[in-house]
Amino acid sequence: MKKFKKSNYIETLNRRHFLRNCSALALGSSCALGTLGSIQLAHAQTAPANDYKALVCIFLFGGNDAFNMLIPRSTSAYTAYANARQGLAKSSGSLIPISASRQSGADYGLHPALTDVNDLYLANKLSFVGNVGALVEPVSKIAYQAKTVALPPQLFSHNDQQNFIQSLQSTTRRNGWAGRAADILSDMNTNQRLSMNISLSGSNLWQSGAATIPYAIDPSGLKNFEQLDRSSSDERMLARIQAYENILQQGHNHTFANAYAESYTKAWDLTDEVGAALTASTSLSTNFPSDNRMASSLKMAAQMIAARNELSVSRQTFFIGVGDFDTHGDQNRRHDILMSQLNDALKSFYDATVELGVADKVTTFTASDFGRTLSSNGDGTDHGWGSHQIVMGDAVAGGDIYGTMPDLTLNSDDDMGEGRIIPTTSMDQYSATLAKWYGVPGSSFADIFPNLSNFDSTDLGFIKA
C-alpha cells in the first residue's frame, strides 16, 4: 500500500477548509458553527421586526418518483403513462383529481396518499412545479443525442446530481446557492453569532457559502456537549468545564490550534444561546406524527422559527434531508409509504406556521437528486432526470401547476432514452424564484445562479407578486 504523506496533505489544506472541518469536529451532533464572517454587530443592517422570511428545503435523497406523485388523468395522457409505467402505474380510479389552469385545463391527479396535500392545493396554499431538473442550458433530445449541448457533470449519479442541485455549479470546488445567498444577506440578521442557515440533517452543500457554515441541530433538539454540560450542578463536571475553558482560552503556537479553540468555544456558546431561546419561545400545540423523521425535522424547524425573536433573526433557511427515495426495488410498497410520510409532514408543518402566524413568511419546497425512469425495471425504477416539485406557504400562488409538463409517452421528444425525461425547467430558475421572494437582490443573481442567464425566464411565477 502506498504510504500517505502527511506533508502533502498539509500543503493541500488551506485555512478555509480547515476551519470548516475543525468546526464540524468541535460541534459533534449538537450543532455546527455559525457564520465565520468578520462583520461586526454594529454594522448589521437590521431588517424590520415584521420582515421575517424563511426558506425550508425538503431534500428527497435518492430521487423521488414524482411521475407517481403527480399523474395525468385525461384519457390519452393517462394511457401513455400506464403503458410506460406498466405494473408501477397507479390506477386511474385511485387518483385524487386536481385541475391546473396553467396546463391548458389538462386533468391531473395526485397520488392517493396525498389527501392533505390536495386540501392545501385546493386552498391555494400549495402548487407544483413541473419537470424541474439539473440543467446548464436548455436541452432538446436532438441536441442531447448530437452532444451539442452543455450538461451537468455525471448525469444520473447520486452524489454528482445532489451536488449540482444544491450548488448549481459544475466546478470541483463548490458551495451552495443558499450559502452564497447568506454570504450576501447575513447583515439582515442582528444576531451575527448564529448562522442564517440551519440544518436538521447535518452538513450539506446547499447551505455552505464562502463565509457561511450551516448551524446543525438534531431533530430531537439540542444536545449538550458530552461531559461538558454548563447547566449541571455536579461539582466535578463544573470543575472539568472550568479546566477545559482555561485550555481553550490559552494562546497556542499553531494557527490551526487557535482556530480550533475559537470554533469550539463559539459552538459551545451557541448551544447555550440557542437552548435558552428555544426554552423562552412559544410552545407549539400543532401535532406532528412521532414515527415520521421528516415530520420530526420539520417540528424542530418550526420550534426554531418560534424562537426567531429571541434569536434576533430576520432571515433563515432550513435544510431537511430525507432518504430512501432510491426505489430500484419494491417501489409500489415503498413509494406509497414515502408519499404518506410527505403528506403528513407537510400538513403538520403548514399548520405550525399558521399557529405561529408566519404562514406567509415561510416558504417550503422540495428538491431531489433527479426523477425516476418512466419504464419499470421489473420491481422499481432507475435513475432518471426531470421531476416535479412542491412549493407550499401563503406566499405561494397556489392551486396550480407551473412549468411545462412532459409527454410521458416512451421514446417521445421528451424522453432522452430508457424512459428518462428531459427537464424543461432548470433548478436555477426554480431556485431564483424562491430567492427573489427571500430578498436576494437581482444584482447578485449572476453570482448565485451561474446558469440562469441561459434561460428566458428568471421568475416562474409561483410566488405571489
Nearest Cα to Cα of residue 128 among 166, 99, 169, 171: 99
- Is 431:454 a contact under the CB 8 Å cutoff? no
Give the pLDDT band of residue 29 (cuts 50, 70, 90).
very low
pTM above 0.85, yes or no: yes
Nearest Cα to Cα of residue 37 among 213, 188, 265, 216: 213
Q: Pairing relation of β-strands 53-60 and 315-322?
A: parallel
CB atoms within 10 A of CB 410: 16
pLDDT tens sequence across 94-148: 999 999 999 987 899 999 999 999 999 999 999 999 999 999 999 999 999 999 9
3-class DSSP state of 328: coil
- Is 158:326 a contact under the CB 8 Å cutoff? yes
The residue whose grid cell reads 480550533 is 260
Higher pLDDT, 422 or 13: 422
Written as nine digits, the cell of 401 is 401547476
d(CA 428, CA 445): 10
Written as nine digits, the cell of 95 is 387518483
SS3 content of the chain, % helix, strand, coil (to 5): 40, 15, 45
pLDDT tens sequence across 273-329: 998 999 999 899 999 999 999 999 999 999 999 999 999 999 999 999 999 999 999
Give 189: exposed, middle or buried? Use CB within 10 Å, 0-12, 13-18, 19+.
buried
Give the pLDDT band of residue 272 (cuts 50, 70, 90).
confident
d(CA 165, CA 14): 26
